[in-house]
A = this chain, B = another copy of it.
């Protein structure tokens, strides 16, 4: 098939999706053209719409259609707490618990030295600026943020990210906490991995 054939161009475009190799791109293209052209056009529109409308919240950096997202604007939330998560899915997970009423900062990534992802790539300076911002935006006023809760994932990369952020924030004299590691609710010790039990023992309260 010629390289500039619309079908071939579609396969190439689909390959830019993360986790999609040439075989699955081909299967996707065939499926859409054979069985779901409506879905294909719908997807095209959704892509264009999202690219045109979705930006980053000026305060928490999550995806939003507004300059400042609804969560950051919510006066009923505790503006003195800032929960740092890796991405919007983690923010959604925190929200589903219903246990947190503060604000967020979404890193949109994590430190990953092996993949050459450094502090600049995930905008740590933006987080530090956010924490340093005075209450009400008035110069000279005290910080609005009193506590930063690190809720990056409990993976090697998430832990590294949490560690680096904690260093930067402690130098600023901000109160930094980390989600507790421990035994998942509803699990039997017998089936919990040893590292988790060891951490739960150290973090006992």
Copies of the chain in the assembly: 2
State whether the Cβ of A187 lies closer than 8 Å to any Cβ in chain B. no
Considering the chains assembled together, what is the distance between the CA atoms of A29 and B54 in angstroms?
11
Considering the chains assembled together, what is the distance between the CA atoms of A47 and B45 in angstroms?
10
SS class, residues of chain A in contact with chain B = helix
Which residues of chain A (49-86) have a CB below 8 Å from chain B? 49-54, 63, 65
* Closest Cβ–Cβ distance, residue A3 to chain B (whole Å): 13
Instruction: Check A63/B33 contact, CB under 8 A, given A41-B48, A45-B44, A51-B40.
Output: yes
Partner of A48, one of B16, B44, B54, B87: B44
Partner of A53, one of B6, B36, B45, B50: B6
State whether the Cβ of A172 lies closer than 8 Å to any Cβ in chain B. no
Partner of A13, one of B18, B31, B43, B52: B43
B50 contacts A33, CB within 8 Å?
A: yes
B1 contacts A16, CB within 8 Å?
A: no
B7 contacts A50, CB within 8 Å?
A: yes
Q: List 22 A-B contacts (CB under 8 A).
A: A6-B54, A7-B88, A9-B49, A9-B50, A12-B46, A13-B45, A13-B46, A14-B43, A16-B42, A16-B43, A17-B32, A17-B43, A18-B27, A30-B63, A32-B47, A40-B47, A40-B51, A41-B47, A43-B43, A43-B44, A44-B44, A44-B51
A6-B46, A6-B54, A14-B43 given; name 9 further pairs at CB < 8 Å: A6-B49, A6-B50, A9-B49, A13-B42, A18-B27, A32-B50, A32-B51, A40-B50, A44-B48
